[in-house]
Every structure is written in structure tokens, then in C-alpha cells.
Amino acid sequence: MNCIIYFWSKFLKKIRGPAIKNSLIHPSSKIEAGSHVVNTTMDRHSFCGYDCEIINCSIGSFCSIANRVIIGGGEHPLHWVGMSPVFYEGRDSVKAKFAHHKRPDLPFTFIDHDVWIGQCALVKSGIKIGIGAVVGMGSVVTKDVEPYAIVAGNPARLIRKRFDDRTIDKLLASEWWLWPDQKLEKFSMYFNNIDLFLSKIKSV
């Protein structure tokens, strides 16, 4: 009985589907059910989990975005007399419109290749997260994140780098995330050993 309930619940979770608008998602990538994606591009072999909200964002290849992550989104005009949507253009939760002032364009957010963003993380619009970076679950990212950095907390702070600077430089120079799938298949056996991987690609 428990097994039937489990699969039925999973079916109901999946059947909702994602809401995707004005976005380009690579065929090899995946947006899970319940996620809301607008004005966004996602390159190959990336995914975002369930119930995410991603607005005005460029996402690279091989990115892993966990459930309930929010990236980007609208900003209220802090420099105006009033910040309520009743004073600017567009449809909103409230019905009244006293004015239709145009808001400043929403900043674009950049998630580079091979980034892992943990569950329930919040990423402020206009942020850039560098190649190979990790954002811990529940983190609030308000500043740019360097390549291969691990950040966590509210606000998110640097915990450590995944590798030493020399190794990071070699990985960035390799640009393996741009390789065709055939080349990735050839070298994939070394991906669990970074020293062996770097030595193998150096000898090619």
C-alpha cells in the first residue's frame, strides 16, 4: 500500500509540469515540474530541480540546481516615492493602478558552467557565479562568486576553494565543459581523479 501511495504522489508531483516562457533550454537539459523559468537560457547537460524560480538568467553547461532554488526576480524601485506595484506598469498581485511608470530593466544573472547550487538557495539578480562554484543549501547570494569557490550562509561567504590556485588555473585552461560529447566520453573515466585527468589531457 505504501508503495502505491509513493508512486501516486510522485506521479502527481511530476504531472504539474514546469512553466517556461521566453527561454531556451538545451534538449539535453531538464527543468523539473513546478519550476517557473522566464527569460532564461540553459546550456547542455544541466538541470534544475522541483519548484525553482529562475528569472532573467544565463545558465551554463553541466550545472546542477537543486529543488526550491530562486535565481533573479523582480526588484522594487527603492529610489521612487513609493515602491508599490500600483505605481508601475504591468500586471501584478494588486489590481489598482495609479500610474504606469516604467521600472528599470531587470539585471541579468549569470551562472557559469559546472556550478552546483544547493536546495533552497537564493541568488540575487545581477550576480555572477563562476565556473565550478558551489553554493550551499539555504544560502543567500548577494555578491559575485569566484570560480571553484564554495560559499554558504546568509549572506553567503567563502568557505574554501575546491582546489588550489594552480589546479584551478589548469581546469579553467582545459575548458572541458566546451568539449563535444565524444571527447567527454573518452576522458570521463578520469573525472574522479583530478591529477590523472590533468595529466591525461596534457599528454594529448
For every residue of 81-148, DSSP letters joined together read: S--SGGGBSS--SS---S--BPPPPPPPEEE-TT-EE-TT-EE-TT-EE-TT-EE-TT-EE-S-B-TT
8 Å CB contact between 136 and 151: yes
Chain segment 22-51, per-residue pLDDT in tens: 999 999 999 999 999 999 999 999 999 999
> What pLDDT is stored for residue 134 in this prediction?
98
Chain segment 125-184, per-residue pLDDT in tens: 999 999 999 999 999 999 999 999 999 999 999 999 999 999 999 999 999 999 999 999
The identity of residue 153, as a single letter, is: G
Among 26-35, 103-112, 161-170, 189-198, name the one with the lowest average pLDDT: 103-112
Architecture of the CATH domain 14-72+107-162: 3 Solenoid (2.160)
Q: Which of 26, 36, 76, 79 is catalytic?
A: 76
Give CA–CA dist 143/119, Å, rounded.
18
> What pLDDT is stored for residue 51 in this prediction?
96
Q: In the chain, which segments carry CATH 2.160.10.10?
A: 14-72+107-162
Is 113 assigned a catalytic role? Answer: no
**Residue, of 97 and 111, whose pLDDT is higher:** 111
Average pLDDT score over the chain? 91
